[in-house]
Structure 1
């Protein structure tokens, strides 16, 4: 498992956990190649018949409390936007239209999770477009829409069910709290060949909850 690795990093700007992990991507090995894959979280949730944490009232409160704590612990600035959830499509399309660079990704995350802005904040969002040299017409182009759609299809094909998720060696590492697990995998940690880990992959399902 050692050597240079290529990671498809799936994220949505709606996700504070994606923001926090984006701030930690620099801790991955220097020779790691990152391919940034914006994806609509709502599409993943619909496909896997799941709910987002903000859709469950007590979990919603805990999620934002936990994110505030995690940001504090990591020394990462965070400012909550005016409301959540919100429609992230303009931001996802903006990232693609801006060229999909690491700089554009971080700038858009900072717009939401450091400045507390939303794409419905017309003047700030218009200024963000100008900063990234993107026109409103570019956001609605078929090319941008199709690129985002392809990302969603690729994510589902890879087994991605939430964000952030790093896909490397046909394996998904989901969530901010899997960052250290991802780092260990990239280092070639022998634990991943252990009976404990391999046995966890084959645990059979038991009784099923009635719907």
Structure 2
């Protein structure tokens, strides 16, 4: 049986496919003092739902994204090494996190295996090494349980129902905050939640859409 999200509680949505999710988690000590629940979702499924094209499909965007991730890592002083291929299939790693009921610390270990050590978790050898890293035997069997597969689908569907369109995304005070660079906004809104109720924020949040 799958478990739905408690949308009254703060959530952090991530996919191991995202270098910016890794970079944001490495700044966990700067996050608001709120018990965010880490929830793995499928970024490709989010894109498919919203009709977004993956940045990897646009050569110039793909190159810029990797350069930007490296730049941010160097700027923040965070160790960073791209895996040997990208994008890779992150489903095995996501299901492993679900099977382990991974907390922030365990999720960080998986991210570091991929984005600090530069490993591909989608290959048989890479996944086996990842399981060793997190101290799990028979990980390949764990991720095939129907309940585990279904939970990933449920997580992604629940995220879509909230309007989540990418990762990393915070859900806090029933509002979405997307992107590694949104952390200052998250911190500000944690301290000053009534900002989102200000006249100008309300005005721009309901702007009519023009024809393009």
Residue 134 of structure 1: CA displacement? 4.3
1:153-192 aligned at under 5 Å gives the runs 153-188=157-192, 190-192=194-196
Secondary structure, in 3 states, of the residue corresponding to 1:80? coil
Q: Which segments of 5 or more consecutive residues in structure 1 lack a partner in the other structure?
A: none
Q: Counterpart of 2:20?
A: 17
Cα 1:134–1:180 shift into 2, 3 Å? farther
Matched, 1:28 2:31: yes
State the distance in 1 between where 2:79 and 2:194 align.
35
- After TM superposition, the runs of 4+ consecutive aligned structure 1 residues lying more than 6 A away are none
Q: How many residue pairs were aligned? A: 203
Deviation at 1:89, TM superposition (A): 0.4
Equivalent residue, structure 1, for 2:5: none
Aligned to 2:73: 71
Query: Bigger CA drift: 163-172 or 193-202?
Result: 193-202
Give the superposition deviation at 1:23. Answer: 1.1
After TM superposition, give the deviation of residue 189 of structure 1 in Å. Answer: 5.2
CA offset digits 1:33-92 (Å, max 9, x no partner): 111110000000000000122221111111011111111111111001111111000110
- Secondary structure of 1:33's aligned partner: coil
Q: Is the 8 A contact 1:10 1:164 kept in 2?
A: yes
The reply to whether residue 147 of structure 1 matches residue 184 of structure 2 is no
* d(CA) in 2 for partners of 1:191, 1:8: 20
Structure 2 residue ranges without an equivalent (≥5): 1-7
Q: Give the corresponding residue for 2:87.
A: 85
8 A Cα contact 1:17 1:164, kept in partner: yes
Post-superposition offset of 1:190: 4.8
Instruction: Tell me how far 1:203 sits from its aligned partner.
Output: 1.2
**Any idea what SS the aligned residue of 1:83 has?**
coil
What is the Cα deviation at residue 177 of structure 1?
Answer: 1.2
Q: CA RMSD in A?
A: 1.6
The answer on whether the counterparts of 1:98 and 1:134 sit within 8 Å (CA) in structure 2 is: no
- Residue 121 of structure 1 deviates from its aligned partner by 4.3
User: 3-state DSSP class of the match of 1:36?
Assistant: strand
TM-score by length of 2: 0.90
- 2:84 and 2:119 in contact (8 A); partners too: yes
